[in-house]
Amino acid sequence: MRVLRAKSAGFCWGVERAIDIAREYAKAGRHPVYTDGPLIHNRQMMEVLTREGVREVGDYQSKAEVSVPEAGDRAVMVVRAHGISPERRAYLKSLGMEFRDATCPDVGIIAGKIRLHAKRGFATVIFGDPAHPEVIGLLGYTEGRGHAVRTRADIDALPPLGEQVCMVSQSTMFTDEFEGLAAHLRKTYPEARVFDTICGATKDRQGDIHELRRQGAEAVVVIGGRHSANTVKLAKLVELTGMHCFHVETAAELDLAALARYRTVGVTAGASTPAFLIDEVVARLGTLP
């Protein structure tokens, strides 16, 4: 079997940056290091971080009250890469410990665009999952005039938005879907300001799926958490391109009997998937004839 590993597989720079920030505090003896919700959407990596002294508190959507039994001068609260709303930021800062923002700078740019336009009276339309923590955080910058949409029907169901409208995207969405929805929005709001805020790492990851197909991949193993939005989208894209998709979290989940039918298999991974998990999958596939 020929195994092709996508160049973009694994941590994006925003996730790696958040992990490095939390680890630096832990290595410096600043305990406990708390994160507001899971630092990344990968169970195996969170287990590694827990052993290193990083503790997850709060909840996935950064909505629940946080229980921090060991707050104080040595404790640190780290905001994950997805970012949070201004209200959540104020709440976390009130907990009596050092506050460190590890929001991905790309997400910070989206928040900045929203905040700037909201202050100018714009309504905001966000292409994204309304239950995803990134979107929940971004909606907090819209000054109460924000709406998350995923389909044309969602756009058609929007209340009147007024003359000033801007549109952005959750950073991990499909570019072609965003462009299609933006065009649909402009049928009603032709002067809408549209900002393509899908991050470069996401575009690279999606582009590499097509590159794997060009190189002859018949099937692709997508590695990552089943609750990771960008990983699920990669799996969907593999299927849309006509290749067989095997979505796994670890090498132990590989269906080797099924994979052995293919001569060339691609491997990619979500933005929260650590390199050691990718290495294990590649090594296991390498044992197939």
Give yes or no for a contact between 40 and 15, defined as CB atoms under 8 angstroms apart: yes
Q: What's the mean pLDDT in 230-251?
A: 96
pLDDT at residue 96, as a whole number: 87
Q: What's the mean pLDDT in 56-74?
A: 84
Q: What's the mean pLDDT in 102-112?
A: 97
Percent of the chain with pLDDT strictly greater than 70: 99
- The beta-strand segments (E) located in the chain are 2-5, 33-36, 54-57, 76-79, 98-101, 123-127, 146-149, 165-169, 193-194, 219-223, 244-248, 264-269
- Kindly tell me if the per-residue pLDDT of 165 is higher than 80: yes
| Digit-coded pLDDT (tens) for 215-230 | 999 999 999 998 888 8
CATH number of the domain where residue 96 is located? 3.40.50.11270
Write out the catalytic residue numbers: 134
pLDDT confidence of 67, banded at 50, 70, 90?
confident
Residues 131 and 167 in one domain: yes
Residues 254 and 277 in one domain: yes
pLDDT at residue 68, as a whole number: 79
Last residue of one domain, picked from the residues 159, 194, 229:
194
Residues 46 and 114 in one domain: no
| Domain tally, the chain | 3
Domain that holds residue 66: 13-102
Last residue of one domain, picked from the residues 194, 210, 229:
194
